[in-house]
Amino acid sequence: MPLVYGQAISFSPLLYRPRERWSDVRAALVGNIVQPRTAADETPERLDTYARRLDDAFWLAGERLDDAHLDALVVLVADDHRTFDDSNTPQLHVFAGYEIWGDPARADLGEAGDPLVFHCNAHLAAHLAEELTRDGFDVSETSGMYTPLGDPQRGVVPALIEPLRRLAADAPIVPIHINCHVEPHISGHRMAPFGEALTRALDLTPLRVGVLVSGGLSGQPGDTMAGWVDDVLDEWVLGRLNTGRSAQLGRIFDVRSQMLRGSSREIRLWAAAGAACEWAGLRPHADEYIPLHHAAAGIGFMHWRND
Amino acid sequence: MPIVFGMASSHAPSLFAQTYEGWQRLWGRFRGTTPQPPEIENEGPEAIADFVARTAVAFATLKRELTAAKPDVVIVLAGDQNEWFDDANLPNLMIYAGDDDIVGFHNFGADDHDPPLAPWDHPDRFGVRLRVDRALGDRLLDGLVREGFDVAISRRVPVHQAPRRKVPHALVRPLPLVLPNLDVPIVPVMMKTVERSPAILTGDRCLELGRALEAICRDLPQRIALYGSGGMSHDPSGPLAGWVDEPLDRWFIEQLTAGTPAELGALYSFRSLATESGAGELRTWLPVAAALDAARPGIRATLVDYFVARKSTVGNGWVTWPELVPAAVPA
């Protein structure tokens, strides 16, 4: 059964906090970094509108995910020194254990610990690891108990936990980590072939499988230009994906720029998912985009499905 | 005679001001309403004086090396900012190969005055006349078109869209500082570098242009030099004004000094705030790098200087490539 559904959602802690906490989230992400001129446009009224748009986008994404009747969901995320530490940082990693856990609570927001556990499809993950390796991808694999080394108290990144919780996704997952934050990063040119190989591997299973991306788009939370968003880049990325040209995203990361740091590096995830869905013949739909300075990221929603 | 020498530099307006007050005026003009980075506080009179001194040394270095290369003609890769062209007819590539000289104005010292001097009101002081090698311009037009480059043709100095400024500043501002003397003719190869224009040359295409230029020039009798004028990262009056993209500039320079210009082909293959700004002028450096690399594979550029001057809103750089064919030493 081929890949039957794809969903991509930017990640920012702001997306998973109530509107009344957005100022606090902004303070945590942006601090006292000088903000771009357009940040002043984010008035309370404007932010209320954004909150409604995001609620709608999440609701629609959840409905579509339900409608897809998935047996499993591959989740593409970037680790940020939570699962891995500097003793062993994989470029590509398939988690083939039975459950994974993490705690998305942020101490800087005064939040109490809130760990969640997600069931995983270890069998499918092992199959993917084997097939991807045979297809030329030198994946690392976890086949035992989940043991986070980077942050043993908090486990897997919130980018994996938060959307699954908000979307109420109940299919077992297969977490796949793509290295976006430890240099040297995996080449952007590897993303399209990786996505295609992923779909080929899924073709060999009888399962209905979806892919979920959580990460990006442009932004540098906690960095020297936190709060600045490259909306030109984001809209170009969404435009390419929306016209089935994910392979063109590969060259972005051949270039070095201040604007390509931080979460911008996670556009790799979108490139991989786009290629996987294109290979499966799914139709792209760019659903939403907000260059949201409070979130310190460009916030995009896309999905792929058979119409 | 192949291409014998190459160089490239920034040409930010501030680089032609000599005083702190001049820099302050230009900063006020180009920062627009963009909130400025905190590092701007470090650019007081002492820092500006240092920038002024380094600028003089850098341009003098280019002039000295170009003079030593004894060029018969300099092909200048340059952009236009509503000087020769406007939206009515904006080429991606254009070569002027006409009989008339190019006449315009530099701005050296103009902004040190209070109020600033308008160069066009003082032609005796700021006037620049550049000779053009029409024959080489014709060769380049013919050769590039034959090689699949859709170069616009100019036989007459374009109708001035900015009548008082007359000529692209990428030509008339830096050339008086770097040409051995203004009698050395040029061929202006104009490249579209304007900000936020999606239909614009990719990095790969700019490199191909350089390789084609080298191939055309290889068997010509003249000693030909190349000069790329523009960049580095900057976004005057734009959303990133003052926020110099030093990682981009340093990466770019690294490829030139490592002799790996092909790595720069990815530039402009996607759209971004970082590359749609004045950083688009780095397109003018790419053909120079590719041409020199084609003439001598792996040739490494020498970094003359680079500094981030946020009050100029520009990452300012100067590079040269080693002379490829030494000029004959007089007996």
Whether residues A259 and B245 touch (CB distance < 8 A) is answered with: yes
Check CB contact under 8 Å for B275 and A255. Answer: yes
* Residue in A37, A248, A259 nearest the CB of B33: A37
Lowest-pLDDT range of A145-154, A211-220, B26-35, B155-164? B155-164
User: Does A168 reach chain B within 8 Å, measured CB to CB?
Assistant: no
| Interface probe with A: pick from B31, B41, B273, B286, most Cβ of A within 10 Å | B273
Please indicate whether, in this complex, the C-beta atoms of B272 and A251 are within 8 angstroms of each other. no
Average pLDDT over residues A242-265: 96
pLDDT value, residue B76: 98
Percent of chain B with pLDDT over 90: 82
Number of independent structural domains in chain A: 1
- Residues of A in Cβ contact (< 8 Å) with B251: 255-257
The crossing angle, in degrees rounded to 10, of helices A44-67 and A158-167 is 70
Residue A291 counted as domain residue: yes
Lowest mean per-residue pLDDT among A90-104, B84-98, B245-259: B84-98
pLDDT interval class at B87 (50, 70, 90): confident
CB contact under 8 A, A34 and B36: yes
Is there a contact between B269 and A248 if contact means CB atoms under 8 Å apart? yes
DSSP B320: E
d(CA A140, CA A129): 8
Tokens of A27: 């303070």
- Please say if the pLDDT value at position B165 is more than 80: no
CB-based contact B37 A34, cutoff 8 Å: yes
**A257 touches B: beta carbon within 8 Å:** yes
Query: Has residue A42 been placed in a domain?
Result: yes
pLDDT computed for residue B198 by the predictor: 82
| Distance separating alpha carbons of residues B313 and B279, to the nearest angstrom | 11
Spatial distance between the Cα atoms of A251 and A143, rounded to a whole number of angstroms: 33
pLDDT attached to residue B160: 63
Interval B210-239: pLDDT, tens = 999 999 999 999 999 999 999 999 999 899
Q: What local confidence, expressed as pLDDT, does residue A1 receive?
A: 66
Q: Which residues contact B255 (CB under 8 A, 6 or more apart)?
A: B261, B263, B264, B289
Is the pLDDT confidence value at B257 over 70? yes
**Whether A1 contacts chain B with CB within 8 A:** no
* Cβ proximity of B106 and B166 under 8 Å: no
Contact B239 A255 (CB under 8 A): no
Contact A258 B37 (CB under 8 A): no
How many angstroms separate the CA atoms of B224 and B189, rounded?
14
Confidence at B161, pLDDT banded by 50, 70, 90: low
Mean pLDDT to the nearest integer, A27-54: 97
Neighbours of B302 (CB within 10 A): 14
Q: What is the pLDDT of residue A222?
A: 86
Residue ranges of domains in chain B, CATH in brackets: 3-321 (3.40.830.10)
Question: Which is more confidently placed, A221 or A271?
Answer: A271
Which H or E run includes B213? Answer: helix B203-217
Contacting residues of B for A37, CB less than 8 Å apart: 33-35, 239
Radius of gyration of chain B (CA): 18
Integer Cα distance of A278 and A246 in angstroms: 8
The verdict on residue A210 lying in a domain is: yes
Phi, psi for residue B293 in degrees, rounded to 5: -70, -35
In a domain, A30, yes or no: yes
Q: What is the 3-state secondary structure (H, E, C) of B281-303?
A: HHHHHHHHHHHHHHHCCCCCCEE
Task: Answer whether B78's CB lies under 8 Å from B206's CB.
Answer: no
Using the beta-carbon criterion (under 8 Å), do B270 and A230 form an inter-chain contact? no
pLDDT above 70 for B329:
no
Query: Cα–Cα distance between A187 and A201 in angstroms, integer?
Result: 21
Average pLDDT, chain A: 96
Say if the Cβ atoms of B247 and A252 lie within 8 Å. no
pLDDT of residue A292: 98
Which among B150, B130, B128, B129 is positioned nearest to B141, based on CA atoms? B150
- Chain A residues within an 8 Å CB radius of B246: 258
- The pLDDT, as a whole number, for residue B308 is 98
Q: Are A173 and A77 in contact (CB under 8 A)?
A: no
Within 10 Å of residue B247's Cβ, how many Cβ atoms? Answer: 18
Q: Which residues of A touch B242 (CB under 8 A)?
A: none
Q: Using the beta-carbon criterion (under 8 Å), do A233 and B38 form an inter-chain contact? A: no
Res B331 pLDDT > 80: no
The per-residue pLDDT of chain B, averaged, comes to: 93
Which among A36, A233, A254 has CB closest to B272? A233
**What's the 3-state SS for A192-220?**
HHHHHHHHHHHHCCCCCEEEEEECCCCEC
Q: Is residue B313 a contact partner of residue B30, using CB atoms and an 8 Å limit?
A: yes
Inside any domain, residue A225? yes
| CA–CA separation, A198 and B91 (whole Å) | 43
pLDDT tens by residue, A273-298 = 999 999 999 999 999 999 999 999 99
Burial (0-12, 13-18, 19+ Cβ within 10 Å), A36: buried
Confidence of residue B158 (pLDDT cuts 50, 70, 90): confident
| Predicted confidence band of residue B1 (pLDDT cuts 50, 70, 90) | low
In a domain, A107, yes or no: no
Size of the A and B interface in Cβ pairs below 8 Å: 79
Cα–Cα dist A216/A208, whole Å: 26
In terms of CA atoms, which chain A residue is nearest residue B233?
A257
User: Interior CA angle at B325 toward B323 and B327, to 5°?
Assistant: 90
In a domain, A118, yes or no: no
pLDDT bin (cut points 50, 70, 90) of residue B178 is very high
Residue B194 has pLDDT above 70, yes or no: yes
- Looking at residues A21-38, what average pLDDT do you find? 96
From the list A175, A195, A211, the residue with the least C-alpha distance to A276 is A195
Helix, coil or strand: residue B225: strand
Which among A230, A254, A260 has CB closest to B263? A254
Q: How many CB atoms lie within 10 A of CB B224?
A: 28
Of A34, A240, A256, Cβ closest to residue B248: A256
Please give the residue range of the domain that contains residue A288. Answer: 3-97+137-305
- Min distance A234 CA to chain B CA atoms (Å): 8
Q: What confidence score (pLDDT) does residue B327 get?
A: 79
pLDDT in the model for residue A254: 96
Please say if the pLDDT value at position A58 is more than 90: yes
Closest-CA distance of chain B to residue A182, Å: 17
User: To the nearest 5 percent, what fractions of chain A are helix, strand and coil?
Assistant: 45, 20, 35
Query: Is B276 in Cβ contact with A37 (below 8 Å)?
Result: no
- Kindly state the average pLDDT of the residues B206-211: 98
pLDDT of residue A259: 94
- Looking at residue A155, which CATH number applies to its domain? 3.40.830.10
pLDDT band per the 50, 70, 90 thresholds, residue B162:
low
Q: With contact defined as beta carbons under 8 Å apart, do A292 and A14 qualify?
A: yes
Phi, psi dihedrals of residue A94, rounded to the nearest 5° = -110, 125
Single out the residue of B163, B162, B165, B216 nearest to residue B189, CA to CA.
B216
Please compute the mean of the pLDDT values over residues A8-36 and round it to a whole number. 97
Give me the interface pTM, i.e. the ipTM: 0.83
Tell me the chain B residues in contact with residue A192 when contact means C-beta distances shorter than 8 Å.
none
Looking at residue B84, its pLDDT comes to 87
Q: Is the peptide bond before B232 cis (omega within 30 degrees of 0)?
A: yes
CA distance A128 to A230: 34
**Residues of A with CB below 8 A from B263's CB?**
254
B280 contacts on A by Cβ (under 8 Å): none
Question: What's the pLDDT score for residue A127?
Answer: 96
Let me know if residue A208 belongs to a domain: yes
Pairwise CA distance, residues A21 & A51, whole Å: 11
Residue B244 CB partners (closer than 8 Å, separation 6+): B233, B234, B308, B309, B310, B313, B314, B315
Q: What is the pLDDT of residues A177-196, one digit of tens each?
A: 999 999 999 999 999 999 99
Task: Give the DSSP per-residue string, A134-173.
Answer: HTT---EEE-SS---SS-TTTBS-HHHHHHHHHHT--S-E
